[in-house]
A and B are shown apart, each in its own frame.
Chain A
Amino acid sequence: MDKEEITGELDLAQINAIVSEYSQHKWALIPLLQKIQSELGYIPPQSIPLIARSLGLFPSQVQGVISFYTQLYTQPRGRKIVRVCRGTACHVRGGKTILKLVKQHLGLEEGETSPDLEYTLETVACIGVCALAPNIVVGDHVHGHMNPKKAEQLFRNREGRG
């Protein structure tokens, strides 16, 4: 058994505990999903049948709801979320290149998470600080006036580990 399967099993026990708190109330789906996500950081796909059974829903319905809400994830997420702005202002000032570089540095495509669970790469439409464009956000921290050099510095330690 490799490490991932072990994590899988541990998760399920914890999920079962959470699920039983909410069982048999269809309306409880969203709060339940949020709770699982807040405790595990994501909603493991193996948990979908469990959730469905306890709420009297079909697994495909639960999956449908999860996939509808962008803030619910079925993949583990990195400790640091990197959001590269793809809004108009940032675009005009080279956001596209910044995204390309960040992808290279992290070795990740959009929506992907590094295997060591350190980073998840995402894009956003506009983060509201267009004056600093182009922008990226790492965790809670906004990095404005990005340029290739700064991007390299930010992620230098990641080179080759993607």
Chain B
Amino acid sequence: MQPITITLDGREVSGYPGMTILELAKESGIDIPTLCHDPQLTSVGACRVCLVEDERNGALLASCVAPIASGMVINTHSPRVMERRKTIVKLMLASHPDSCLVCDKGNRCQLRQIASDLGIGLVELQRIPQMASIEEVNPFLERDLSKCILCAKCIRACQELVVEGAIDYFQRGFTTIPATLNNLPLENSECTFCGTCVALCPTGALMEKDRTYGGTTKSMTETTCPFCGCGCSICLEIKDNQVVRVIPGKEDSVNHGALCVRGSYGCDFVNSPDRLTKPLVKRDNTFEEVSWEEALEQAATGFKRIKDKRGSDGLAVLGSSKCTNEDNYVLQRFARCVLGTNNIDNGSRLYNSATRTGLGYSIGFPCTTNYLGALGQSEIIIVIGANPDSSAPVVGYAIKRAVKYKSAKLVLIDPRQTKLSSFACLWLRPNVGTDVALLNTLAKVIVDEALLDEEYVARKTDDFEALTKALERYSLEYAEAITGVPAEDIRSVARLYGKATQPAIVYGTGITQQRGGTDSVRAIANLALLTGHIERGGIYALQRENNGQGACDMGVLPDFLPGYQNVADAQTRTKFQERWKVDLPADPGLSAMEMLERAKSGKINGLYIVGENPCLSFPHSGLITKALASLDFLVVQDMFLTETAKLANVVLPAASFAEKDGTFTNFEGRVNRVRKAIEPMGESLPDWEIVARLADKMGCPLPFSSLQDVMSEIEELVPSYEAYSDYERQDELAYGETGRTYGRQLLKGFARFSPIEYTPQAGERKSGYPFTLLTGTTLYHFGTGSRSSRSLRLKKFSPQSFVEIGETDARKLGVSHGDKVSVISRVSKLATSARIIDGLPEGTLFMPISFAEAPVNELFDIALDSETKAPLMKACSVKVEKIPLP
């Protein structure tokens, strides 16, 4: 491309064709004020504040939309430009309300900033009165449209970044406002309260509501969202050691300047009065606050006693998919080197092990194969068993963006109606538990119609014959009979996927938590391998929690040392033994569920739980509680006195993500920085430090006196984390292919097909329990809710548990919206209220996890997936009874 040279404020500068004057000015260090422009959004040239003049013909141009043309002589600050700019801003101020003086946006308001930069004092124009604000009951954001300058940033943010389209211009002329459909309050619209528009609004027209703490921010810290596996970059605004506000972080990150409601409004759990500020020790069944010294002494003595009496096998450790990589690394070293056991696992066992085992087997590494931004290049996106709009919102945004603005075609495979349904070109609703049959049939069509990439298959894969043989019985008719999906649709999807050049598959817990989840994951991998698409569009394996990926990478697993190095392999063990200078236990340890089972039968006597709440997160919570209560000794390390912590002998107060440094690894395998923004609450400490102190107390100090020590060891011992702590380098990396731990190339260079058989789950629906209950997250809550229920605004917005019932079923049951009902399974029952919706197939119910008052996991019997040892929690048979009004 030929560079274009223009004169900018008297200097010759050059840029490339298509560049706007604003972009070139920015590059040349010239500051032009803007109100309606944002690099993440399409430019509309609505506010005219950015105008500049072309000296040759006197034309005034909006620099944010005007492209550079050779020979231009542009003045950005000439007297004429300044005069015009002032007038424009004055006109805006003239229609601004008096409440501007007390506006909470105050010093952050860009309109006021620009006005003061321009030296505007009194506005001599006649004031134009504006309409009053809109009544909203939601606790997240409020609109005072009398302060709206019609820059349309909110509209574009909602349409282009979040792809919700909740608001657009309404009316024309003086009465124009950004409005929802029928101009209703936001809570009655499509709005998901992601806060993206609030962060972008230049004035006080959109503001966050119900803040617990006011005042002007004193400092800002870039860090990573602690909720889901997307790993959004967020910016914490701090005053007086309190998180005052959260806004989207770096533009150049997975989230592209957007967030979801949890990231924007859920982080106030950090300042919750429920935070543990001192160590607790239980005496006579009540907790007493004690010093760290004493608490650690108690914990160390307890573990030592069991180790001496029962040996290391009587002990176990449960790590956390919410803690940092460094916390987890130190924890696994503690388990292996100090306690001397491989009985260590983490909470992601519940939803992630199918991916680990399935993808690990098929392609050699257990992680998403491509980065999220690449979804925009996929012409076909298949979403199966995932509801990213609530479980991984930023992935949801990316999918919707691809469909809406890049003309990608979405194939949705989900029995439930989700927000993505209306974006799908094909929506397949297979019977629950029949994914393998569907996926195998897709593979068969691809083989039969020769849509496979023969060269790739020959060069890079094993076991192709075994696969084709196993696929023989999966005819379209057979699949239709099992899955209930029309044969025609199955064929269409296979063709779409087979013929596309860079199609992607996205899956989530709807796959991994089902019975046979590992098989489904392998069947998905088969599809991507057959077509060679694994190296192009790839597979996106969603992670539920912020560091589910990292906890596993760090070896918080019973069978793997850090970096998935097999603990049973003598050579590997020797390597670690030499490095750590201890003897390592040779046998793989117990998985999370197994630990708890053995606790009940008295074979595990001491347990150390860090940042997990199995009493709510694990199935059949009644049994889990019993198991934990029967332990000799339980130490729980958490931010809150959770249901699990209440059972502990010693409770150690942990610092929150905002109070420590470290890293999280997101679902893409990208290592994101966590930065300390405030001092830890009370006496709480970062998890890794507590673990290290405990090791000291037990007389086996670990060689970590600073976070950097931990990081250096990770870099040395965990493949693909080399040089990850070099933040300078990382911060320079543009968001994209780079910066992830796993590249798109397969690590081992070859991959394996897995012949998978569909096994019908006959008799699954026990007689008398006619409904299949599906579970999942909701957008407004997270995990078991130990954090989100302590976020005031999230709690206020969606405080009650519910069960979703399809219209037809509701009619048959005689249940209407809001009725109290009992949901009863073979092992337990709970009371909740009914929500009637029209997107569920008959015989299917949905309930969110995350509500302590209705712990859904209670309903599930403990059934372990034979291969992954993960408890199966996604579906269970239940019946529903209406609770008569008293």
Contact = CB atoms under 8 A, between A and B. Distances in A.
Interface of A: 45, 48-49, 53, 56-61, 63-64, 67-68, 70
A67 to B, nearest CB: 5
B81 interface: no
A55 to B, nearest CB: 12
Interface size range on B against A: 10 to 19
Interface string B150-175: 00000000010000111111111000
Contacts of A68: 169, 171-172
B759 interface: no
Interface of B: 159, 164-172, 179-182, 189-190, 404, 422
Q: Which of B165, B171, B181, B422 has the most CB of A within 10 A?
A: B181
24 contacts: A45-B182, A48-B181, A49-B181, A53-B422, A56-B404, A57-B165, A58-B159, A58-B164, A58-B165, A58-B190, A59-B181, A59-B190, A60-B166, A60-B179, A60-B180, A60-B181, A60-B189, A61-B159, A63-B168, A63-B179, A63-B181, A64-B168, A64-B169, A64-B170
B170 A59 contact: no
Contacts of B422: 53
A59 B422 CA distance: 12
Contact of B167 (A45, A48, A60): A60
Contacts of A53: 422
Contacts of B179: 60, 63
B566 to A, nearest CB: 50
B11 to A, nearest CB: 42
A68 B171 CA distance: 5
Given A56-B404, A67-B169, 15 more contacts: A45-B182, A57-B165, A58-B164, A59-B165, A59-B181, A60-B165, A60-B166, A60-B170, A60-B189, A60-B190, A61-B159, A63-B170, A64-B169, A67-B172, A68-B172
B170 to A, nearest CB: 5
Per CB-CB distance, the 9 closest pairs between chain A and chain B, nearest first, are: A58-B165, A64-B168, A60-B168, A64-B169, A59-B181, A61-B168, A68-B172, A67-B171, A60-B181
Given A45-B182, A56-B404, A61 B165 contact: yes
Contacts, number: 44
B545 to A, nearest CB: 31
Which of B164, B168, B171, B404 has the most chain A CB within a 10 Å cutoff?
Answer: B168
B158 to A, nearest CB: 8
Nearest to A63: B181
Contact of B182 (A56, A57, A63, A64): A63
Nearest to A57: B165
Nearest to B159: A58
B563 to A, nearest CB: 45
A120 B741 CA distance: 67
Contacts of B181: 48-49, 59-60, 63
Residue among B165, B166, B171 with the most chain A CB within 10 A?
A: B165
Nearest to A48: B181
A57 B423 CA distance: 10
Contacts of A58: 159, 164-166, 168, 190
A17 to B, nearest CB: 20
Contacts of B166: 58, 60
Contacts of B164: 58
